[in-house]
Structure 1
Amino acid sequence: METNRQKKIGGVLQRDVADVIQLALREAGVQGILVSVTKVSVTTDLSIAKVYMSVFPHQEGERVLKEVNQVKSQIKHQVAQRTKNQLRRMPELSYFIDDSLEYISNIEEAVKGKEDPIHNPELLEKRKKK
């Protein structure tokens, strides 16, 4: 379970990392891609922060993740500048794609009946447990 300190640091990092990434995308002239930081979880020793990003459209997720990892040190530096009054030591940032929104969307599609096994019996084969 996360301590209040971890949650507080995660919240600060979440806001600042999101700002830095969105600014970088604007400066690079990237159009039509929305990146939001959905969660930042910090280890108990505050040395590592896992940054979960949601990318829309989700097909661009891997490309955005690759580009973010290429400029990882610049992002860390800019975030460190913003948080220098709140954090003594800047945690190492690791980036991940948060696909929970896509997962929820797939569940909604299934509930709406687009994948109805009664009308489409071939679906039953792929749903069976192996």
Structure 2
Amino acid sequence: MESKRQQKFAGVLQEELAAIFQKEGAAYLPNTLVTITKVRVSSDLGVAKVYLSLFSTSNTALAIAEINSHAGEIRYKLGARIRHQARIVPSLTFFLDDTNTYVEQMDKIFDKISKERKEDPEEGEEA
């Protein structure tokens, strides 16, 4: 369970990282929309796990690896933005947030079940 302090700091990081990716995201991943979905911060605020949702990319693993290769540069830019709000700038590790993929898979399953029910008349309605 995250403390209020961790949650508040994670919110600040999420907001500032979103601004960085909005302004300079094309330098890291051209033609890709990057959304910061969640930030988890360690109890000492020294490590941040950043979860990203990527749109318009075919190879998400390669895209995450590319962003992680620029983690130091992103951390530096983040430090310049939060220098008056935090004593330390956490080390950043980026992960893929696959929630959207999971939701899409579940929607397909529910659609399939719904179509099967419409195609097969219920057995209890025989005369």
Indicate whether the TM-score tops 0.5.
Answer: yes
3-state SS of the aligned residue for 2:59?
Answer: helix
The answer to whether residue 83 in structure 2 is matched with residue 79 in structure 1 is no
Q: Which has the higher helix share?
A: 2
Q: Distance in 2 between matches of 1:27 and 1:64?
A: 12
Q: Distance in 1 between matches of 2:104 and 2:30?
A: 25
Decide which moves more: 34-43 or 56-65.
56-65
Distance change (3 Å), C-alpha of 1:68 and 1:101? same
Decide which moves more: 38-47 or 63-72.
63-72
Identity %: 32
Aligned length: 117
What is residue 23 of structure 1 aligned with on the other side? 23
TM normalised by structure 2 equals 0.82
Q: Distance in 2 between matches of 1:21 and 1:61?
A: 16
- Flag structure 1 segments of 5+ consecutive residues without an equivalent: 119-130
Q: Distance in 2 between matches of 1:100 and 1:58?
A: 16
The answer to whether residue 112 in structure 2 is matched with residue 113 in structure 1 is yes
- Flag structure 2 segments of 5+ consecutive residues without an equivalent: 118-127
The Cα RMSD (Å) is: 2.2
TM normalised by structure 1 equals 0.80
